[in-house]
Amino acid sequence: MKITSLLLALASLAIVGCSTPVNTIDNANPNATPQIVDSRVDIFDNNLAKRLSLVSVNEAQLGDLLQIQVTFRNMQVKPRSFGYQFQWIQQNGMVVTSPGPVWQMATVEGGQTIAVSAVAPKPSVVDFRLSLREAR
């Protein structure tokens, strides 16, 4: 029995490895008043969805350009690296192809909340689509 417990403890240590998760402190009564966007999520990678939890999507207007910020939280102890790509959609439904969408990289520590944001490339953009992919 003792051996089983010891093995379990060792296995947990091996899984956690050298990872050091982060603790987060923020304002209990936030002063920011973000404009929250209702979002729809299509999930093909269930593991990624479990590890990286969507916290919020909010938008702002920078002059005539749309700005989007998507906030995630790493629900695990291990740091996670992921790629993300914003695609921008115009009023007529067409996706902006020039400049083309670029995959950016981000790393989020265990337990950390991270925001990725982007500014639309042209004033005609009215919508966005965000793709996420976990790094190998």
Partner 1 sequence: MKTISISLTLLSALLLAGCGGKAKYVDSTGPNTIISVDRIDIQDWSRAADQMVQNLLASGVLDRSKRQPAVLAVSRIVNNTSQQVDTNLLTKRIRVALNQSGKAVTTTTVGLGGTAEDPLAKDQAAYESYMSGGDGNAAVQPGYSLSGRLIETYITAGSTKQTTFSFQLSLTEIATGLAVWEDNVDITKQGKKNAVGW
Round to whole Å and give the CA distance between 14 and 5.
Answer: 14
| Residue 98 in contact with partner 1, rule: CB under 8 A | yes
| Residue 103 in contact with partner 1, rule: CB under 8 A | yes
Among the listed residues 45, 97, 34, 40, the one whose alpha carbon sits nearest the alpha carbon of residue 69: 34
Question: Which of 18, 38, 46, 136: binder of partner 1 (CB under 8 A)?
Answer: 136
| Residue 63 in contact with partner 1, rule: CB under 8 A | yes
For partner 1, give the closer residue by CB, 2 or 136: 136
- What's the start-to-end Cα distance of the chain, in Å? 37
Total binding residues toward partner 1, as defined by CB under 8 A: 23
What residues line the site for partner 1 (CB under 8 A)?
A: 62-63, 65, 67, 81, 83, 96, 98-105, 118-119, 121-123, 133, 135-136
